[in-house]
């Protein structure tokens, strides 16, 4: 497949969609989400060795009642962040979110008008409730980091307390402790540029917004997380394989994120008893992603990516944002109590393929 640079710009949505609703998928319903709880484990001793026997008392269930989940990077109902929030809500979790200040009022207005009601349905017939929306700009760790140009920017007018440190303190004041922390954020100002043309400023900006923001979130929220909690982030296959057009240092930032997931799993596990994992999702079609990279008479990058996945992935089926949401629910539940430091691929197995089956060279004469 050959793409122009403008068309390939759509690749940004593959990961940036996590933060601003461009997470490639029509959001219809959570699907068959089953309420579950962690199985009991009993240990039996023998004279030769110690064995662990897993006793399942009925069907496994996920029950997150009483758990508080903070999802950073929710701005509409079509992205991964929303799907994760809805899956967690379906299991009983209390949902609070952090939204980028420039779009905060638009998002809050949409919630009040019921613009997202159709995407809020839960399996029991109720609607997901977002208990509180906090302004959050994750490129700023503390108030001292906010430059005057941001403070005086009309898009931030009337807002304060949107740094990571301030948001964590506000959440602590409102809820005390939380159990689930989701990093659904990414941005690269020079994503359309090849790496060879990326400036130092653009490269570091991508790293700051897409990778270090996760480190900072855990630094500030870790102390108010209950033991056994889980932090989850979203990554993309460009961290390990070449995706032409996904430039500006974004592929490097995602590689950082995956590496940091392992280090943070160790450090946060020992310090707070918190697990840290990330999900690498395949292409999904959202409203925002569909609008990027469209050229007259051609498919968008996302449409190409979905077609490519269907032609080459082991599983020939559609991938929805709810698939990511349900996988996230597992990782954030007690069923995954021993799972940490993991990159979980939710992509119909596309990551496992080393050859494009629909390549011209694979066609039989």
Backbone angles phi, psi at 208, to 5 degrees: -65, -50
Among 134, 246, 304, 320, the active-site one is 246
Nearest to 39 by CA among 23, 67, 20, 58: 58
Is 236 designated active site?
Answer: yes
Nearest to 210 by CA among 231, 239, 181, 230: 239
Nearest-angstrom CA–CA distance, 294 and 304: 11
CB 234 within 8 A of CB 278: yes
Nearest-angstrom CA–CA distance, 294 and 142: 38
Nearest-angstrom CA–CA distance, 99 and 138: 9
Structure token pair of residue 110: 């949409």
Is 246 designated active site?
Answer: yes
Among 16, 134, 162, 236, the active-site one is 236
Nearest-angstrom CA–CA distance, 237 and 265: 20
Cα dihedral sign for 22, 27, 31, 35?
positive
Q: Centre a 10 Å sphere on the Cβ of residue 247 and count the other Cβ atoms it contains.
A: 28
Active site residues: 236, 246
């Amino acid at each position: 497949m050959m793409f122009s640079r403008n068309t390939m710009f759509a690749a940004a949505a593959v990961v940036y969609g996590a933060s601003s609703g461009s997470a490639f998928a029509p959001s219809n319903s959570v699907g068959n989400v089953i309420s579950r709880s962690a199985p009991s484990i009993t240990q039996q001793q023998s004279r030769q060795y110690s064995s662990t026997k897993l006793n399942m008392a009925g069907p496994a269930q996920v029950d997150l009642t009483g758990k508080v989940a903070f999802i950073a990077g929710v701005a509409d109902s079509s992205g991964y962040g929303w799907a994760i929030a809805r899956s967690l809500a379906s299991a009983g979790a209390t949902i609070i979110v952090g939204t980028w200040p420039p779009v905060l009022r638009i998002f809050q207005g949409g919630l009040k008008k019921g613009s997202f009601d159709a995407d809020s349905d839960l399996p029991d017939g109720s609607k997901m409730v977002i208990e509180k929306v906090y302004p959050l700009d994750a490129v700023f760790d503390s108030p001292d980091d906010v430059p005057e140009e941001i403070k005086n920017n009309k898009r931030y007018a009337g807002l304060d307390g949107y740094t990571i440190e301030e948001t964590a303190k506000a959440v602590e004041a409102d809820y005390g402790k939380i159990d689930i922390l989701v990093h659904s954020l990414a941005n690269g100002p020079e994503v359309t540029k090849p790496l060879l043309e990326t400036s130092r400023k653009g490269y570091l900006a991508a790293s700051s917004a897409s990778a270090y923001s996760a480190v900072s979130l855990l630094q500030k929220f870790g102390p108010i997380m209950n033991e056994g909690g889980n932090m989850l982030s979203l990554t993309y296959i460009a961290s390990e394989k070449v995706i032409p057009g996904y430039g500006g240092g974004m592929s490097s930032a995602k590689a950082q994120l995956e590496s940091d997931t392992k280090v943070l799993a160790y450090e946060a596990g020992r310090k707070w008893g918190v697990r840290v994992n990330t999900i690498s999702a395949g292409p999904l079609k959202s409203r925002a992603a569909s609008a990027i990279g469209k050229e007259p008479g051609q498919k968008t990058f996302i449409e190409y990516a979905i077609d490519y996945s269907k032609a080459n992935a082991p599983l020939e089926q559609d991938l929805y944002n709810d698939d990511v949401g349900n996988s996230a629910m597992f990782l954030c539940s007690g069923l995954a109590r021993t799972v940490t430091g993991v990159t979980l691929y939710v992509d119909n197995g596309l990551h496992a393929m080393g050859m494009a089956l629909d390549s011209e060279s694979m066609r039989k004469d």
